[in-house]
Structure 1
Amino acid sequence: MSLSTAMNLNQQLDCLFDPRSVAVIGASSNMVKWGFHILNLLLVKGGREVYAINRNEPEVLGLKTYRSVADVPGPVDVAVITVVYHDIPAVMEDCVQKGVKGAVIISGGLAETGEEGARVEREVVEIARRGGIRLVGPNCMGHFDTSSGLYTVPYLPPSTKGTLSLIAQSGNASQAIVHAASERGLGFSKYISSGNEADLHFEDYLEYLAQDEQTEIILGYVEGFREGRRFFELAKEITKKKPVVILKAGRTEAGKKAAQSHTASLAGSDAICEAAFKQCGVIRVADISELIDVALALVGQPLPRGRRVAVFSTGGGPAVMAADALMRHGLELPELSPKTMDKLNATFTPRWSRSNPIESGGDPFDHPCLWAVLEDDNIDAALIINAVAVARNYAWWVQLPPSLNDAIEQYIVAEEETEVEHINNLLELMHKYQKPVMIANIGIPSAREGVVYDRLEQTHLVPYLTQERAAGALAHLVEYSEYLGVARGNG
């Protein structure tokens, strides 16, 4: 793509993400319709002119309606289209007449349904290209930009502003991704449900997000690439500057067949994709949980310099399982240096494990042991098990009479103050030594309320639910760090 073409693409997508005016074509007062919820969302968010297009109702949600977008008195930058598929060509002709710059086609029933739908979709694209209109979708859930305040996708949990951006070829999968990210305290910059990608492709959005200053990490749900070679050429350059994490579905023949009927995707050889991902530094994940695990690690952790991990555990069983998990993911548990051993011997009781994993029998944050281990040149990262955000659960598991409720609450408050102090100390150590520290709470769920969890969310240190998930996320950090060392060295 030439520089002038790339600049034009950026300008076109800038308009789609931050339009001055939006028309909802298919606006409705019927609360079960997409046209109702999208119009309502645009009005609630505000910040731009909003027009309602409806041939049958004189007013929707307090707005005067227009029979056609061509009848709107002011300019319309973006149209959001929710009408039935066979009406879309005529609607697109109106958009061309009006000078609309971009359109988001929510409606389905096009190429994903068969030849008749594919014919209508081709007709819509031809009309749009004649008028210079760029299309998101069809068969999509919309898009949002937390910086500009534009939201055309109503069926998502509220998302805070953050550094992640998501491109998804499935609306339902994207819902699950945004929900899972929100549960872990992660926020988004931009979101695109790309649908059938009749005009704008996954690769176009990827190129746009590469230069977006608000996007630091790009997430993707992909069923098939329209421009495979372009994707990998883009990714090879983008991953040197910001991580790209892809959930590539359609690995099996059954999955590929489902993808074709779902969004008309063209799913190619999975083995070729796997090899190409590794070559260009794309982090591939297997499911949504792993996608969010890796995103959390990338947002909250420095990249490790190597594969050597120290494990802290309050008990033997979790330490053994952690060791197994780390080894399964190709990580290492080295011996601690004599200097570190001396410091730990002076700190712990004689009953500690005297090895890595470090079984202290108590809270590792209660001692200067974490500082000593992160200072060790033999250690590149640490995994801490069952050490933070557990005080509130522990306290209420103890069955005491109601008369002691006030005393228990006082204990919890004091412990939570200590835990917040631990988190702040951990951040200082991570910054000082530039070594990631993963936290996993096994069998002791993190208390999801109160000052401790709030602080964990703010610092992106929300504990992983198993050693396996923490080890897997850390392994992806290691592999990405190793890729950067080679790519930048050869760049």
Structure 2
Amino acid sequence: MSYTIDQMEAVFLPKTVAVVGAPRTFKPGLVFLQALLDPGFKGEIFPVNPSADSILGLKAYPSLASIPADVDLAILLVGVEQIERVMEDCVEKRVKAAIVFTSGFGETGERRGFERERRMVERAREGGVRLVGPNCMGVYSPEAGLGFFPSMPSVVGKLAFVSQSGSLGAFVTMMGTLRGMSFSKVVSIGNECDLSSCDFIDYLSRDDKTAVITAYLEGTRDGRNLMAALREASARKPVIVWKAGSTAAGARAVSSHTGSLAGADAVWDAAFRQAGVIRAGSLEEMIDIATALYYFGRVGGRRMAIISGPGGPAVAASDAAERAGLSLPELEKSTVKELMKFVPASGASFRNPVDLGVAPWGIISLYSDSLRVVEKDESIDVTLLIGGGITPGGQQEYLQYMIDLRKDLRKPCLLISLAGFTGDLEFSRALQSAGYPLFTSPEKAIAAYAKAVSYFEWRESVGS
């Protein structure tokens, strides 16, 4: 790859940041300076604006050259007409890396935009300045206190996201947080005129803080290097890619969005399979797959047991399991015998799926008690539990029983939120903190788990 660790640390873990073009009054650019103050950048911040003495309580400087310290990272918020001059300033200041928020470059499809981008990159490379963007939203790095917007979560996690769409990074961060996940690093790469998706994916694959890599890609300027980076990364840790621009209309949108080449979808699909990449068909599926991998780590085994109170979702889950290549083996006789000791026989079925009937309405502990028994079955690799209380009191009972049980579980367990767990943030967070991933439907949970299993089967097939 074309980067050094020192250059990437200037992007994700800088000690000094200059915000060039920081406005004095409320304008969109001011938000990015506020994002350094909240949750709190851990280094020094230098706003650059020749017309201001101070901005948001910080001393402002008339130029990069006037800053009395070395600058690791420059955030460029100036107009496109000023970029060449500011890039010259970055070179003279020996700035290590710059994030170019400005648009008006190659993504316009116009010759003038391509020329601007070419000249900017040429000067940056001559001066040893690495670029993120242009036409991007920057970096979210909770370890350093860098954020897209103010008040972003400050907890450091193990999920990373690389995005060719700017504001999507903020949405993915919010979605991941609602699923109980925290992030190591998120980067919006825009036109990727210098540092590219290849570089960031390779770097994250070697990053000890990152366990799962997710990415939104529209296209690439260097397919060969991207696939090499993806294959090497997939051999180390899961890589989930949501690839858009698969139709003619989508490809046109890609060209105007980031100036990338979308390419034929069948070619991408084949390349992803060869590289061991987990392909997601939507934003929600990418988050679902990441959730399974975030909570379980390495998974193996396609033998699933389904436990449910409502019968209809259990049937739908059975269909989904077969479509996903999972099996529903019959439970061992000893398991069935143990279940029959405490599950009322009326309306219940002790095959797989295990249908608890209406009994949990009155005996909420049947969910946790049944899960405790079924997960010990030697013919089962993973369990899926559909249920919950139908009253606030029942929900709280269910919550306590499931939290108490979690420490004894040795196999992956997927919880389905038919009763609307995800609408109760406190309830959801308690289950997530205990180590349960929550999904909104059996179909989504099963599809995510099956893709996670397929990934580790690929790892075994290539000996990694």
Q: TM-score higher than 0.5 here? A: yes
Against the structure 1 CA distance between its residues 460 and 247, is the aligned structure 2 distance closer, same or farther, given a 3 Å change threshold? Answer: farther
What displacement does 1:49 show? 1.7
Q: Which runs of 5+ in 1 are unaligned?
A: 397-410
- Number of the residue aligned with 2:386: 385
Amino-acid identity (%): 37
- 1:156 touches 1:175 (CA, 8 Å); kept in 2? no
Structure 2 matches for 1:69-468, cutoff 5 A?
Answer: 69-113=64-108, 114-151=110-147, 153-154=148-149, 157-158=152-153, 160-351=155-346, 352-361=348-357, 362-363=359-360, 365-366=365-366, 368-387=369-388, 391=389, 394-395=390-391, 411=393, 416=396, 419-430=399-410, 435-446=411-422, 448-450=424-426, 452-468=427-443
C-alpha distance in 1 between matches for 2:151 and 2:398:
36
User: In the TM superposition, what is the alpha-carbon distance from 1:237 to its structure 2 partner?
Assistant: 2.6
How far did residue 159 of structure 1 move?
5.5
Asked if 2 retains the 8 angstrom alpha-carbon contact of 1:9 and 1:208, the reply is no
- TM-superposed CA distance for 1:339, in Å, is 2.5
Asked if structure 2 preserves the Cα contact closer than 8 Å seen for 1:159 and 1:178, the reply is no
Structure 2 counterpart of 1:11, which letter? D
Change (3 A) 1:161 1:449: same
**Number of the residue aligned with 1:38:** 32
Shift of 1:456: 1.6
Query: Does the 8 Å contact 2:198/2:230 carry over to 1?
Result: no
1:63 to 58, 65, 78: 58
The separation in 2 between residues aligned to 1:11 and 1:174, in whole angstroms, is 24
112-121 or 224-233, larger mean C-alpha shift: 224-233
Whole-angstrom distance in 1 between the partners of 2:68 and 2:405: 59
Secondary structure of the corresponding residue to residue 279 of structure 2? strand
Q: Distance in 2 between matches of 1:467 and 1:156?
A: 33
The Cα shift of 1:124 comes to 0.5
Q: TM-score by structure 1 length? A: 0.88
CA contact (8 A) 2:216 2:242 kept: yes
Q: 1:473 aligns with which of 445, 448, 451?
A: 448
Q: What CA deviation, in whole Å up to 9, does each residue of 1:212-261 have, x standing for no partner?
A: 11111111000012322222222223223211111111111111111010
TM-score of the superposed pair, with normalisation by structure 2: 0.92
Q: CA deviation at 1:156?
A: 7.8
Rounded Cα–Cα distance in structure 2 between residues aligned with 1:58 and 1:201: 36
Of 321-330 and 438-447, deviating more is 438-447
Q: Which amino acid in 1 is paired with 2:424?
A: R
Amino acid at match of 1:474: Y
Q: Which has the higher helix share?
A: 1
Q: Aligned equivalents of 2:7 and 2:167: distance in 1? A: 26
Q: Partners of 1:373 and 1:359 in 2: how far apart?
A: 12
Q: Which deviates the most, 164-173 or 327-336?
A: 327-336
8 Å CA contact 1:299–1:460 kept in 2: the answer is no
Per the alignment, do residues 384 and 360 of structure 1 end up closer, same or farther by CA in structure 2, a change over 3 Å counting?
same
Q: Provide the C-alpha distance between the structure 2 equivalents of 1:449 and 1:285, rounded to a whole number of angstroms.
A: 26
Q: Which amino acid aligns with 1:485?
A: E
Q: Is the 8 A contact 1:300 1:459 kept in 2?
A: no
The answer to which of 66-75 and 240-249 deviates more is 66-75
Paired residue secondary structure (2:240): strand
Structure 2 runs not aligned, ≥5 long: none
One-letter amino acid of the structure 2 residue matched with residue 467 of structure 1: P
Q: Give a deviation string over 1:234-292, Cα, whole Å, max 9, x none.
A: 22232232111111111111111110100111112211111121122111101111111
SS in 2 for 1:305: coil
Change (3 A) 1:421 1:342: closer
**Shift of the alpha carbon at 1:418?**
5.5
Q: SS in structure 1 opposite 2:70? A: coil
